Structure 1
């Protein structure tokens, strides 16, 4: 009896309804996190002494994770790995990362909320998706079982779209994070629907990370060359940032292995650096620094300071996200290069923002789409050059692991090895 094939109308309907529901839920999660983190940022700015509480706040976040029965090392990279493997993302992650991010920001830790909202979205997607009993819409793919990873991916894309007002970039970002994994890629249409539903709800409300427009210069060889230089600078800086963050995380998780000690020591190091070097303006998500860079204001070494504090905060186990810091670091670097060359600093800050993100995340298509959605169609040629230079000019390993290039190379190597084994087997049979 042949395998049953074709589309399942019932599953198609379930996927569509689920996409609409998780789009609305993701928008709500984004708005809630934005309000909470904004409150935490205002408290940190108003009461500067809260910086001294950072080690204690880090410990509280770890105790919260233990109370919620969450792995204390759970972060964006581990959530992405669970999605790739079609493993269930725990429901308790939603309150855990929400409270953990706020605790870090209150204490002045250099973390963002974009990756935090992605973790919330993945958790909510997996939770909301369970009653829908989502299987593949094509009957011949039913052997994949319940689509836990796909449900989490839909929630992640929806929440990020609502926070950043970039539905195309959000959907592509998640696709690249899961390396276009079969079950997620085959249902990309409904994931895109969830992203647009979340965007349609959040955009009129206006609570999220709205990035201001930047004036684009006339297209010329000189401006394209400037974008190339910024992209190559972001390639090197992005590779160093990714290596620093992943290396620190690996060292603290595997060699030290004592999360409470790690977070206390990390907190004390951050407090000492901020006080000794008067780095108070580098605390928190970095949104004010990003806005300043896009207005043409940045110090020559600001990007390095923000990168260092972010590596220390996230590497030593504080809860929060890495995406807004990556945007900020790239914008500061682009702005500094613009000031050094005596050209439009806001323009190069915009190019640097998406280029650094492409290099550090290894998600070049998402970076390009987000650049186009944020800065408009006039920015497309400049963003394309910067992102391409940043992505191709650095090694293919980032904050979330290897990029699509390495993934495709591995798949090709496996295919060649399988073909070679098959040829060897056939040759053996012929000899017999």
Structure 2
């Protein structure tokens, strides 16, 4: 018995130490990402509108980087960093490996995308940097195949937790992202350690301040309010599906049209974004769009802002530019909630917050993490409404999602008739056949 206790204690200490190492490195690199994006996106791009017309050439450079340096052979299998989060998810499943260079590549790609006006977020780069750091830790400590997956999950947790100032969410996000209907609880300690340490490093050590979104008023619970929340959650879920389908559709068409030439894809995508920006006469939908996102909580925004952001982001990421999709999902959901508020007399900030969380839940297929994000982001206000929104949006998004590499271990409903262990991509292909 004493031997078992000593073995368990040593294992727990191992995960705490490894999680801390991942957290310190990822927290520091994420801070560089956040501060650099603020500088490039707010202090430079917004003050120099003409930079948008250089986006096609930034696309050429990003495409060249991925074609020249992004493909690495591991054990007779090619790992392509242009798969972004999907590559990290495949590595968690043991199908691929994350190259150590992936972090640097995605940083350069994200900086170029943000500086020249592509519509993108930030958590993608943080998660992929987390995967890159985890891959380095795996190699240094010669981890076995099972433990490698756990370390990779902790890298995902550290990236998300530090990127959004949400360490509890980050813990579960790393465990929930790779699979639908299955949580690997063996990973909870390293994921929690990595997420909390990374968050501490970002905020307490490097003093980065995250955006704050506030719900002014939460409506009283009633049958009527619950009915409205359910109805809204259905709408938010359908919009998340629309974004995912459009984004993957553009990626599939552009890849086939340009025969997997990332340079040509991104150049054309950059031209389209530049033309759309010129036609609209505003750069509200370029970059991260944090100003409009924050505005949505307090005052009216253009009624079709959610649709514009949806299209801009789908084209940007679908043609090979780099970045995250959480903030665009936040933007889409929040501005859609702002628009729907005009038809129902309920507090504006409540509508906006509900949309932000529900669209994120449906798009990422992470309902538990989305609910925890609502608790951390909005200080526990309206938790019963957010719980319902997360569950309904997740259920109704079906076999759709941001990341086709996600595996389905438990179907959301028997109506979907998915096969055990198949990916979202495989389920979609089989459904079309």
| Corresponding residue for residue 266 of structure 1 | 269
| Corresponding residue for residue 60 of structure 1 | 61
CA offsets, 1:289-320, max 9 Å, x none? 21111223322110000000000000000111
| Corresponding residue for residue 158 of structure 1 | 158
Match of 1:88 among 81, 94, 97: 97
Deviation at 1:411, TM superposition (A): 11
Change (3 A) 1:300 1:323: same
Deviation at 1:384, TM superposition (A): 1.1
Write 1 or 2 for the structure with the bigger share of helix: 1
Deviation at 1:40, TM superposition (A): 1.3
Match of 1:381 among 384, 407, 427: 384
Look up the SS of the partner of 1:377 in the other structure. coil
Residue range with higher mean Cα deviation, 392-401 or 262-271: 392-401
| Corresponding residue for residue 48 of structure 1 | 49
| Corresponding residue for residue 235 of structure 1 | 237
TM-score by length of 1: 0.86
Look up the SS of the partner of 2:287 in the other structure. coil
| Corresponding residue for residue 406 of structure 1 | 411
Retained in 2: the 8 A contact 1:37–1:105? yes
Alignment of 1:339-358 (within 5 A): 339-358=342-361
Deviation at 1:37, TM superposition (A): 0.9
Look up the SS of the partner of 1:281 in the other structure. coil
Deviation at 1:254, TM superposition (A): 4.2
Deviation at 1:213, TM superposition (A): 2.0
Change (3 A) 1:216 1:223: farther
Deviation at 1:252, TM superposition (A): 2.5
Which aligned runs of 4 or more in structure 1 are off by greater than 6 angstroms? Answer: 180-183, 407-412
CA offsets, 1:271-299, max 9 Å, x none? 11110122411110121121111223322
Distance in 2, matches of 1:82 and 1:406, equals 22
Distance in 2, matches of 1:202 and 1:295, equals 28
Distance in 2, matches of 1:315 and 1:359, equals 19
Q: Which runs of 5+ in 2 are unaligned?
A: 72-79, 422-433
Residue range with higher mean Cα deviation, 86-95 or 208-217: 208-217
| Corresponding residue for residue 251 of structure 1 | 253
Match of 1:293 among 296, 311, 320: 296
Distance in 1, matches of 2:341 and 2:297, equals 11
Look up the SS of the partner of 2:385 in the other structure. helix
Question: Paired residues, what number?
Answer: 403
Retained in 2: the 8 A contact 1:115–1:322? yes
Retained in 1: the 8 A contact 2:273–2:316? yes
Deviation at 1:374, TM superposition (A): 0.7
2:321 aligned with 1:318, yes or no?
yes
Change (3 A) 1:214 1:206: farther
Retained in 2: the 8 A contact 1:15–1:134? no
| Corresponding residue for residue 425 of structure 2 | none
CA offsets, 1:25-52, max 9 Å, x none? 1210110100111121021111110000
Change (3 A) 1:412 1:345: closer
Retained in 2: the 8 A contact 1:169–1:370? yes
Alignment of 1:412-423 (within 5 A): none
TM-score by length of 2: 0.86
Match of 2:88 among 79, 88, 112: 79
Distance in 1, matches of 2:81 and 2:240, equals 26
Q: Which runs of 5+ in 1 are unaligned?
A: 136-144, 416-432
Deviation at 1:99, TM superposition (A): 1.1
Match of 2:138 among 116, 119, 129: 129
Q: Of the two, which has the highest radius of gyration?
A: 1
Deviation at 1:202, TM superposition (A): 2.3
Distance in 1, matches of 2:14 and 2:181, equals 21
| Corresponding residue for residue 76 of structure 2 | none
CA offsets, 1:347-406, max 9 Å, x none? 110010000011111111111110111112222112112222222233232111356643
Retained in 1: the 8 A contact 2:181–2:410? no
Distance in 1, matches of 2:107 and 2:241, equals 28
Distance in 1, matches of 2:124 and 2:244, equals 15
Match of 1:283 among 283, 286, 294: 286
Change (3 A) 1:208 1:120: farther
Distance in 2, matches of 1:372 and 1:240, equals 26
| Corresponding residue for residue 213 of structure 1 | 214
Distance in 2, matches of 1:259 and 1:276, equals 26
Retained in 2: the 8 A contact 1:86–1:148? no
Retained in 2: the 8 A contact 1:355–1:386? yes
Look up the SS of the partner of 2:315 in the other structure. helix
Look up the SS of the partner of 1:73 in the other structure. helix
2:125 aligned with 1:116, yes or no?
yes
Retained in 1: the 8 A contact 2:23–2:197? yes
Distance in 2, matches of 1:287 and 1:201, equals 23
Distance in 1, matches of 2:409 and 2:327, equals 22
Retained in 1: the 8 A contact 2:241–2:400? yes
Change (3 A) 1:220 1:407: closer
